[in-house]
Each structure stands twice: as C-alpha cells, then as structure tokens.
Structure 1
Amino acid sequence: MARAHSPLGAVVLRGCGVMMLPLMLSACSWSWFGLNSSATHAKAHGTGSLSVAPADDFAYLPARADHISPNRIENTAMTGIVLKDDINEVVRKRIAYSLRSAGFRIDDRRRVLSGSIETFTVDDMRSPALWTLKIRYVVIDTATQRVMFTTACTVKRKAPKFTSNTIAIEDTVQLSIDTLIGDPGFIKAVN
C-alpha cells in the first residue's frame, strides 16, 4: 500500500534539513578543533616549586614600544585581534594554570618566574593560521635577586583559521610552557 506524503510534511522535513545542516557542520568542525585543543596536549609531569610573577612582570614588549595596544595581537589578515584583557594578563594566567596542571607547586615565594613577551602574532592569510609566540622566561631567587635561569622560547603553532581566539591563545601558551618544562635548566632551577 503506497503511502501519500503531505505537502506540509515535505516542507517541514526540508526546513529541518536546512536548519540541521549548519549544526551538523559546526559539530564536525568543533570535534576537529577539539583534537587540537590544549586538552589533548601530552601533559608533562613536573616537579619543583616556584611562584608566577604578577602580570605586570610579564612585559608585552610590542605594547611597551607603542607598536600596538596592550590588548592586541598582531594579525596579518586584519588590524589585529583585540582581547578584553591585556595580553600580559592572559598569558600570565595561562602560564600559571599550565604549570599547576603539569604538577608544579606555584606557591613558593623563594623562586619567581617572570618574563617578557617579545612576539605574539598570528598569520591567517591562509589556512591553517600560524600563531607565533616568543617569551623570554626568567627565574629569580628572591632572597639573593640572582637569576637562576633564563631562556627565550619561540613556538609556532598551526590552528584552524576560524578557531576560537581563546583556544588558539591557550594552546600556543601551553606549547611554550611544554617547551619550558622540557628544559633541564628550568627543572634544576625550580628544585
């Protein structure tokens, strides 16, 4: 027995298909983004203790040179990515979170990690976008004011062109911290 289709039913089904297609596509893209997020980074298990200096001690050098505003990341495709908070605050929070997640105690006032953000850019003229972050890290013994460790860490990370800026920033800083934690000199300085 053949079933008759109502015109209203066909319109409703077509409308559902039109509405669901963007949702299904966005779900696919989110799962792909998720594969590249910091949640999937191999977590290094660190030992040692230190404290992370306040955001003011993580100088964002492009802003200090009046090159750009303190809350802007240079972008080749447009004038820049503007954040609600200053770059040094965003980077400092992620550094503290990443170190804590890696197993470091970050309440030891005897050794303080600070640094300068020398470069933070994104090149998204093509896909994938290329994020570049260069930070000079410094660990200081607070009792003697002696520099116990210093290094310049440059990381480059590819990310989907239309990913969340927050995710891309967090993942790029995480990559920098992973590199820092992998440096035996840093581990020696905080133990």
Structure 2
Amino acid sequence: MLSACSWSWFGLNCTPRASAVHATGSLSVAPPHDFTYVPAVNGHVSPNRIENTAMTGLVLKGDVNEAVRNGIARSLAISGFHLDTGTRVLSGSIEKFTVDDERSPTYWTLKMHYVVTDTTTRKVVFSTTKTVRQKSPKFTSNTIAIEDTVKLSVDALIGDPGFVRSVN
C-alpha cells in the first residue's frame, strides 16, 4: 500500500514542520476582543467569515478573531512562552485573512499586526506587521488550515529579535 504522502498529484504535504524558533519569555495574550478583525469592522465580511475566492466566504462557528487569538496562544505556549505571567500583553489586529481556492493547491494569507504593551506603563514596547502565506491541499479541513496559517504567523513573530527582547 502507498502512503497518502506519496500521492503528489493531490498536493499533499506530509513533511513535518518544525517550529521556526524556540524562544522563551513571559507575556499574556489579550482576550479575543483585543484582536480586531479589520475586514469585519470595515463591513467587508461578517465577524465569522474569511474571504474566499471560490465562494462568498468560509463561515466559521465562532468569530475569526477568537480562532486567531486562540491559535496564537497555543502556538506561543508550544514554543515555550509562559502565558500567564509577566507585565507584557500581546494584542493585535487581523488586517487580512483570505483563502485563494479557485485551483489546487489552496493559499491562505494572513496579515497580522502585533502589539506588545507594558501593563504597568501602558506603553507599546513592540509593534510589527507579519504577512504569511500558507499552501494547503484543496480539501484540507478549514480548522487545520487556520491553525497552520496562524502558527506560521507566530513563527514569523517569534523569529523577530525585537519581539523576543520585548517579552524577556
């Protein structure tokens, strides 16, 4: 029997992905309402919809900002960050989240603006925007594709020395 990973014509990618960087630090991740989903605020899509090229949009059970925020928290915890301590809090805005699935493979694009704030002084100590593009097979689970795309964005954030300095 052949492994599904050998079926290259389906576009499966079974290569395990390692986290880009293992870093440590202490911070809190703000609640979902502090992760603004800009396309929804602008009235372009509803809060639970990701813009999609093949249909009107992918509708999630919950809001996009909650799914992204929870994915960020999971990815940071897996990477070694302490999330329940520290005087720094991570928030941000989801400036763009789209799916291009007219053809196979599908491309998920996430543009995130991250902000780290010192809770004692209420001053921004770090700010950056990261844009990532995740390739996935056409019929991948939306949940898995969202988690993979958010993880890729968090890997880019963790790879930024300014971010690591801001939470240590």
Query: What's the TM-score, normalizing by structure 1?
Result: 0.81
Cα distance per residue 1:77-112 (max 9 Å; x no partner)? 001000001000000000000000000000124100
Q: Which has the larger radius of gyration?
A: 1
CA-to-partner distance for each residue in 1:100-144, whole Å, 9 max, x for gaps? 000000012410000000000000111111110000000000100
**Any runs of at least 4 consecutive aligned residues in structure 1 with deviations exceeding 6 A, and if so which?**
none
> Is residue 13–residue 136 contact of structure 2 (8 Å, CA) maintained in 1?
no
Name the Cα RMSD after superposition.
1.9
Structure with bigger helix share is 1
Instruction: Structure 1: state its 5+ residue gaps.
Output: 1-23
Aligned to 2:125: 148
Aligned residues: 164
- Structure 1 distance, partners of 2:29, 2:86, is 9
What amino acid is aligned across from residue 17 of structure 2 in structure 1?
H
1:127 aligns with 2:109: no
Choose between structure 1 and 2: higher strand proportion: 2
Aligned to 2:142: 165
Q: Deviation string for 1:140-171 (max 9, x for gaps)?
A: 00100111100000001111111111111000
Structure 2, unmatched stretches of 5+, are none
Residue 33 of structure 1 and its aligned partner are, at CA, apart by 4.8
Distance 1:54 1:123 in 2: 29
What is aligned with 1:178? Answer: 155
Please point out which of 89, 95, 104 is paired with 2:81.
Answer: 104
Structure 2 counterparts to residues 33-72 of structure 1, below 5 A:
33=12, 35=14, 40-43=16-19, 44-72=21-49
Q: Is the 8 A contact 1:98 1:174 kept in 2?
A: yes
